[in-house]
Amino acid sequence: MQRSPDLPDYAWNESGAQRYAREAEKMDIQYRVFLERLSAVPPPARILDVGAGPGTLTVKIAALFPYASITALEVSPVMVKLGCDYIEKHGLQKRINYVQADAGVAEAMRDIGQYDLICSCYSLHEWKNVRATAIQLQSKLVDDGIMLLHDLRRVPWLAWLPLNFPMLQSIRASYTVSELRALLSGLPDSEVTVQSETPWMLTAKIHAVRL
């Protein structure tokens, strides 16, 4: 089945964003593999969380790396407001800084800084141009820095189900392992691996190896 990037706009309206934020607090199982992959990375000093949403996962990342400062990048102003409230509720406003910007827009990313770790969970399928955005983000890694992109994986039998649940819509918009490998192939100054994850996820690791 061909990729179908027809996604709900819940992130851009208050009621939808609040509903997503409530659901995200119950997503420990969905975040488990991503957090396991992060835990294998050398402890970073600076982290860029791309597509941070309402901050639920960003707070978990802060707990995993208690000495890191985090920039939470989010394009939706509604989600940014929820995220700022959430990190303040957890007393993390000194460690986590929300920035409203689109990772795919070069001008918006110009002064974002350099990072030891750039990560994204369940937002890759929403990127308008995966390769261009990945190249731009890779330029924000320090030498020997790591980028981890974790997302849903398009599985034919799931994608074919004649239902319009938000998760199924996201799966239809997601990439297969071979598609993502092709998109990230030959990324400048990088070692790239893409692997399938159980049950219908994938993880891309981009290691900055500038000479």
> What is the per-residue pLDDT for 142?
97
Mean pLDDT of 85-98: 98
Contact 93, 83 (CB under 8 A): no
Task: Report the distance separating Cα 9 and Cα 16, nearest Å.
Answer: 8
Question: Where is pLDDT greater, at 30 or 5?
Answer: 30
Per-domain boundaries in the chain: 10-208
pLDDT at 1: 56
Q: What is the pLDDT of residue 5?
A: 65
pLDDT reported for residue 12: 86
State how far the alpha carbon of 176 is from the alpha carbons of 4, 7, 121, 122, 211, in Å.
12, 17, 16, 14, 31
What's the pLDDT at 140? 97
Fold of 10-208: Rossmann fold (3.40.50)
Q: How many angstroms separate the CA atoms of 45 and 54, rounded?
A: 22
pLDDT digits (tens, 9 = 90+) for 124-167: 999 999 999 999 999 999 999 999 999 999 987 766 766 566 77
Q: Is the distance from CB of 159 to CB of 168 less than 8 angstroms?
A: yes
Q: pLDDT above 90 covers what percent of the chain?
A: 78
Mean pLDDT of the chain: 92
Token code pair at residue 179: 């598609």
As a whole number, mean pLDDT of residues 57-64 equals 98
